[in-house]
Amino acid sequence: MKRVAIVGIGHGKFGVRSDASLRELTFEAVKACLDDAGVSLKEVDSMVTGIAGDEFSLALQPSAQVHDYIGFYPKPNFRVEGACATGSMALRTGWMNVASGLADLVLVVGVEKMTEVPTSVATEIMGRGGDSMWEYPFGTTFPGYYAMMANAHMAEYGTTEEQMAMVAVKNHYYGHLNPFAHMQKEVTLEKALTSFTVAHPLKLFDCSLITDGAAAVLLASEERAKTISTKPVWIAGLGLATDTMRITERESLTSIAASREAARIAYQMAGVGPADIDVATVHDCFTIAEIVAYEDLGFCEKGEGGKLIEAKETYVDGRTPVNVDGGLKSKGHPLGATGVSMAIEITKQLRGEAGQRQVKDAEIGLTHNVGGTGQVAAVHIFRRE
């Protein structure tokens, strides 16, 4: 199997970007990525675009706006989608593009313009990421789905609202140190706990943000990587797994089976285990999701996720630092961009370029990205040499 490396990263500012369209957001990230790699667009062979929702910007084939605006035509580009895990699907497809020998240098772009529509409409569009026939029409939207998981986790393992709020405190702390984050301010435990209830037990500060943003990485074959970067970050494991459309058909509400399976595949491919992971970004669309991810990825025993955050083991100086870029919770969650943004954070950490948020001597990193309520999940493992 051919080896594929990340040789360039470009992160746009996440936030309510009323100043920029889908195409302009993309340009921002692509420009930064090419500058980082020291490569011109002309040298790039192919491109993959991750965009989750046609409905946010009412465009069929939104990827064409992207290759048009950055001037990439006539070279190959198309769109991939996997709801909230779309960015990781784009990375996977970019990897396949290089590893198959079809291209040597591939640009992977993730972008979403979510604030084009009112928040209520965005919530509705995302709500259809559950079963659009058998769940959403009965009124379920994402805070509701994850509230069910939270209630089940509390009932089964004694996880507390305080522990969930502690995830928010951590992620806002790191988000306030990340210049690309949507919310760059800290939050106290008290403020998080007393914020208004969205869907019991989830409160405002348990929920991630509706965000505009773009992120881009440049992938290269081994031969090309050596000519471009002195600090290539290798993609060592790719896990992708699926589950039932309906959350009501899952065997458990306290775990995401697709995450466990994707992690199993990725660990096996990379030849490492949970204890080898120096730094991770996980899918904290809600605080409970981060706690569940700790367990599904093997960072702690099942049911011990609440205690892991309570012991601060997922801070930069803890056992397994998680979401020290602010996570979806504070950095924001522009659906198509999130998976790519996660890969950028891990690349920065493995290059030793994360500044105040740097995990010491990080060599192996992991990203974990969930689509919908867990209908799909991707786990990628990265390493430096």
Q: Which is catalytic among the residues 172, 182, 333, 380?
A: 333
Residue of 30, 39, 83, 147 that binds its own copies (CB under 8 A): 83
For residues 280 and 321, is the Cβ–Cβ distance under 8 A? yes
Q: Tell me if 171 contacts its own copies by CB under 8 A.
A: no
Tokens of 219: 């992938």
Q: Tell me if 141 contacts its own copies by CB under 8 A.
A: no
Q: Which is catalytic among the residues 11, 33, 67, 84?
A: 84
Tokens of 245: 């459309």
Q: Tell me if 139 contacts its own copies by CB under 8 A.
A: no
CA dist 84 and 373 (Å) reads 9
Residue of 16, 41, 96, 311 that binds its own copies (CB under 8 A): 96
C-beta of 75 vs 307, nearer to its own copies: 75
C-beta of 59 vs 204, nearer to its own copies: 59
Site for its own copies in 20-59 (CB under 8 A): 21, 46, 52-55, 57-59
The region of 25-33, 225-233, 239-247, 304-312 touching its own copies under the rule CB under 8 A is 239-247
Residue of 19, 35, 73, 223 that binds its own copies (CB under 8 A): 73
Q: Which of 218, 217, 221, 196 shows the shortest CA–CA distance to 207?
A: 196
Residue of 232, 332, 336, 371 that binds its own copies (CB under 8 A): 371
CA dist 262 and 354 (Å) reads 27
Handedness of CA 131, 137, 138, 140 (dihedral sign): positive
C-beta of 266 vs 308, nearer to its own copies: 266
SS3 358: coil
How many CB atoms are closer than 10 A to CB 335? 32
Q: Tell me if 248 contacts its own copies by CB under 8 A.
A: no
The region of 127-135, 229-237, 276-284, 325-333 touching its own copies under the rule CB under 8 A is 127-135
Site for its own copies in 102-121 (CB under 8 A): 102
Instruction: Look at the chain and count its residues.
Output: 385
Which positions ≥6 away from 168 have C-beta within 8 Å?
Answer: 187, 192, 205, 206, 287, 329, 330
Q: Tell me if 77 contacts its own copies by CB under 8 A.
A: yes
Residue of 246, 302, 307, 319 that binds its own copies (CB under 8 A): 246
C-beta of 52 vs 282, nearer to its own copies: 52
Query: Is 84 noted as a catalytic residue in this protein?
Result: yes
Query: Is 333 noted as a catalytic residue in this protein?
Result: yes
CA dist 66 and 52 (Å) reads 14
What DSSP assignment string belongs to 276-335?
G-SEEE---SBHHHHHHHHHHTTSS-TT-HHHHHHTTTTSTTSSS-B-TT-HHHHH---H
C-beta of 209 vs 354, nearer to its own copies: 209
How many Cα neighbours within 13 Å face the side chain of 188? Answer: 3
Number of residues that bind its own copies (CB under 8 A): 65
SS3 139: coil
State how far the alpha carbon of 77 is from the alpha carbons of 49, 70, 84, 347, in Å: 7, 12, 20, 24
Residue of 19, 68, 156, 301 that binds its own copies (CB under 8 A): 68
Residue of 6, 32, 33, 89 that binds its own copies (CB under 8 A): 89
Tokens of 199: 């869907």
Residues taking part in catalysis: 84, 333
Site of interaction with its own copies (CB under 8 A) = 1-2, 21, 46, 52-55, 57-65, 67-69, 72-83, 85, 89, 92-93, 95-97, 99-102, 125-126, 128-129, 131-133, 238, 240-246, 257-258, 261, 371-372, 375-376
